[in-house]
Amino acid sequence: MSSAWITTRAWLLMLPLLIVMIAVVGWPMVDTVRLSFTDTRLVGTSGEYVGLANYAKLLTGSAFLGALRNTAVFAVFSVAAEMTLGVLAALLLDQQFRGRSFVRALMILPWALPTVVNAMLWRLIYNPEYGALNSLLTQLGILSEYRSWLGEPGTALWAIVAADCWKNFPLVALIALAALQAVPRDIKAAAIVDGAGAFARFRFVMWPYLAGPLTIALVLRTIEAFKVFDIIWVMTRGGPVNSTRTLSILVYQEAFSFQRAGSGASLALIVTLIVTVFAAFYIALMRRSGSRA
- For 177, residues 6+ apart whose C-beta sits below 8 A from its C-beta are 89, 90, 93, 94, 104
Site for another protein in 2-21 (CB under 8 A): 6-7, 9-11, 13-14, 16-18, 20-21
Whether residue 128 is preceded by a cis peptide bond, meaning omega within 30 degrees of 0, is no
Nearer to another protein, 80 or 201 (CB): 201
Site for another protein in 56-75 (CB under 8 A): none
Site for another protein in 97-136 (CB under 8 A): 97, 99-100, 102-117, 120-125, 127-130, 132, 135
Asked if 192 and 150 count as a contact pair (C-beta separation under 8 A), the reply is no
Which position among 65, 189, 190, 200 is part of the footprint of another protein (CB under 8 A)? 189
Site for another protein in 20-49 (CB under 8 A): 20-21, 24-29, 31-32, 35, 41-45
**HSE-CB for 76 with a 13 A CA cutoff:** 6
What's the min distance (Å) between Cβ of 172 and another protein? 11
Helix residue ranges, H only, the chain: 3-21, 27-36, 53-60, 62-93, 100-112, 115-126, 132-139, 156-181, 185-193, 198-200, 207-226, 230-235, 247-252, 261-292
175 belongs to the binding site for another protein (CB under 8 A) = yes
Lay out the site mask for another protein across 211-230 (x = CB under 8 A, - = otherwise).
--x--x------x--xx-xx
52 belongs to the binding site for another protein (CB under 8 A) = no
Which position among 56, 190, 204, 276 is part of the footprint of another protein (CB under 8 A)? 276
Stretch that binds another protein, among 51-59, 76-84, 199-207, 243-251 (CB under 8 A): 243-251
Asked if 118 and 163 count as a contact pair (C-beta separation under 8 A), the reply is yes
